[in-house]
Amino acid sequence: MPTIDLAAPAPTRLPGPLALLDGLPRRVTLTLPELRHVASLAGGAPLPFDDAEAPGDAHPLEDRLGASPATAEDEAYAAALASLRDAEDSLDRRGLLTGAGADAGLVGAVGLLATPTTALDLDVTAAGLRARSWHRRAGDAVAALSTVDGLVFELAWFPVERWADELGRAAVLPADFPVAGSGVPAVLDLPFELADAAAEASRHGRADLIPVLVAQAEAPVVDGDGDPLPDPQAALAALTGEARGRLRALVADVSATQTSVVGVVSWTLLADGWHALRPRRVDHTQRVAVVAVDPADLAPELAPVLAVVGT
């Protein structure tokens, strides 16, 4: 899967972001070869992920240790990529490429991906799938590139006023995703060290240590009203045992030569849906509030971080 490269150099003479505001809204599905071809027509615009690694390259120890599961996945990816239709021919058949060049909206969107002032990268794992989405803003325009398999991408471009709707789409769970009651209250507030230690114990199959960890904690586990939970051990066991996915959003200021990471928003997927992880410091103690949220809450969660970039 391609990796993020926020510091990729920007090409010159790309279409300005204001050109994206014509003909909105627009959303186009592109294969990786088509995406690469449009990028080449946009003045060699770099894509927002590292496109230099060939997924089919052999691993260094493969000759001595044999093929690994990662190698098999890379080979399957390379085979699927090789089976895709020629990019220029497929774009032409779809009416996205003419004798005058590529669709102006496509070129402008890819150009904006390469020349933003604000970068927001989303990484979502749920139901055994991993989705990646790269949002780039310049002025009043935003372009978003998303993929699940690294072969087929959705390219969207829209005015900044519609950004909240696009962010909410990233957290929407599949219609058939099973949802049940959770042992974690709507608001769970606890010391960060306790949450971290409980998660580590569960990962190593030692959930039996959670009561000991709770007893040794220097600060209490409380609910949204600040009242101690009657059974904090059960809530912690549910917090670590129910985890079925996660969402991570990273915001960076890329308006200067040096990329500056502004903030990170993290959610965890429990039995009843998404819960935001909100760390804070209270009386020299690092705490984290685990709060039940909906997909529509992602934009408000990110708003304070994006506001820092906008200032």
Domain final residue pick, 170, 205, 222? 170
Q: Identify the domain containing residue 91 by its residue range.
A: 3-170
Specify if 83 maps to a domain.
Answer: yes
Q: What is the pLDDT of residue 310?
A: 64
Same domain, 82 and 197: no
- Whether the model clears a pTM of 0.85, i.e. scores above it, the answer is no
Same domain, 204 and 283: yes
Per the structure, how many domains does the chain have?
A: 2
Sequence-distant (6+) residues with CB within 8 A of 99 are: none
Same domain, 9 and 52: yes
Sheet (strand 141-147) strand order:
26-31, 152-159, 141-147, 129-138, 118-126, 245-253, 260-270, 273-282, 285-292, 187-191
Same domain, 205 and 293: yes
Same domain, 49 and 119: yes
Q: What is the pLDDT of residue 8?
A: 41
Same domain, 38 and 164: yes
Same domain, 145 and 42: yes
Same domain, 158 and 221: no
Q: What is the pLDDT of residue 52?
A: 41
Q: What is the pLDDT of residue 9?
A: 40
Q: What is the pLDDT of residue 119?
A: 94
Same domain, 191 and 166: no
State the CB neighbour count (10 A cutoff) for residue 171.
Answer: 24
Domain final residue pick, 170, 195, 222? 170
**Along the chain (311 residues), what's the average pLDDT of each consecutive run of 10 residues?**
41 44 71 92 88 46 55 70 77 80 85 93 91 94 93 93 91 89 95 93 89 91 92 94 94 84 93 95 90 96 86 53
Q: What is the pLDDT of residue 3?
A: 43
Specify if 182 maps to a domain.
Answer: no
Specify if 306 maps to a domain.
Answer: yes
259 touches 253 (CB < 8 A): yes
Specify if 175 maps to a domain.
Answer: no
Same domain, 103 and 31: yes
Specify if 180 maps to a domain.
Answer: no
Same domain, 156 and 233: no
Interatomic CA distance for residues 164 and 167, integer angstroms: 5
